[in-house]
Amino acid sequence: MRIAKIITAMVVLIVVSAAGFVCLAPESAFHLVVNAMRAKAGLQRKEIRLPDGLSYVYLDGGQGAPLMLLHGFGANKDNFTRVASLLTKHYRVIIPDHIGFGESSHPADADYSPTAQARRLRSFAQALGLTDLHIGGNSMGGHIAMTYAALYPKEVKSLWLLDPGGVWSAPKSALRTYVETTGKNPLMIKTDEDFVSLMPWVMSHPPFVPRPILNVMARERIANYILEERVIKAITTDSVEARVTGLTVPTLIVWGGEDRLIHPETANILHRLMPDSRIIVMPKTGHLPMFEKPRQSARDYLAFRASLGQ
């Protein structure tokens, strides 16, 4: 009985101490968690400067065939660390911050169209000595991944598309209807409250994150607001449909069945356009399958790659 009380007291002390640490030093707590997740995934933070002067900061780890994973609008490389922990045992995983996001360069006057971003990423891949690679992308990252494959089809072994953007003939999503009705875009973050309100838009079941940590995460978005206005105009005026019509790169299309940002019917449109594609719809999942359900996402991807013999 005495031992049980001691253990209970220790647990309470640990919880209270952790809560205090989060409240008093939220930035330190945030970076502690981020670094722990990277370490668990076997990923290291690296940086490379390209000949044009732009710098990419990226995560790199694992062994095997190279797999480059591309985050979406307003996100950064750490959106993929949860699923990467299940993939680095099989592949070399490279996860860059796009130019304009995260820790990579933020040139104010750059071209942020998916085509320009894809060309930059090819320069990034070449700088790492990668000539043939597999590419995965979520949302805007999927839009860029498809563009990369369309530009350099002989260099892309396969595509993993997680709720990708760039298909505007699809039915209106909840987000598009909301923007057209209110004139407000919940993806654009000006305040801490905007960031908190964004969570239910991008995930069906957002994990609990203490408010002080959310406030830390919001800072990156708030500071990048003006540049993100430019980026969102570039991606929402670019259609990928003609670009990928007839593209024969083997492709796994994954969609969250409860995606509020991009209508799930988009998966069928892409499937019709891309002859060597297959679809998986994940129920009770939002716009970030690899974050909400990393185990299922990894399992499905590994099965896809196994079917290719790669």
DSSP string computed for 48-80: EE-TTS-EEEEEEE--SSEEEEE--TT--GGGG
215 and 193 Cβ atoms separated by less than 8 Å: no
Domains annotated on the chain, with CATH: 30-308 (3.40.50.1820)
What integer pLDDT is reported at residue 272 of this predicted model?
98
Alpha carbon distance 143, 294 (integer Å): 21
- In this model, does residue 2 exceed pLDDT 60? no
Chain segment 236-289, per-residue pLDDT in tens: 999 999 999 999 999 999 999 999 999 999 999 999 999 999 999 999 999 999
What pLDDT score was predicted for residue 9? 35
What pLDDT, on a 0 to 100 scale, did the predictor assign at position 23? 62
pLDDT value for 13: 31
C-alpha span between 167 and 262 (Å, rounded):
9
d(CA 258, CA 281): 9
What the block records as the tokens of 26 is 């939220």
Q: H or E stretch including 130? A: none
What was the pLDDT predicted at 266? 98
* Residue 63: both structure tokens together: 């062994």
Contact criterion met (CB below 8 Å) for 72 and 100: no
d(CA 163, CA 297) in angstroms, rounded, equals: 12
- pLDDT per residue as tens digits for the range 14-57: 333 344 545 667 789 999 999 999 999 999 999 999 999 999 99
pLDDT (tens digit per residue) in 164-206: 999 999 999 999 999 999 999 999 999 999 999 999 999 999 8
Q: Structure pTM?
A: 0.92
The residues, ordered by sequence, that sit 6+ positions from 173 with a Cβ below 8 Å of its Cβ are: 259, 260, 261, 262, 263
Q: 288, 261 in Cβ contact below 8 A?
A: no
For residue 272, the SS3 value is helix
User: What is the pLDDT at residue 24?
Assistant: 61
- Active-site residues, by number, are 71, 139, 265, 287
Query: Which of 183, 193, 197 shows the shortest CA–CA distance to 260?
Result: 197
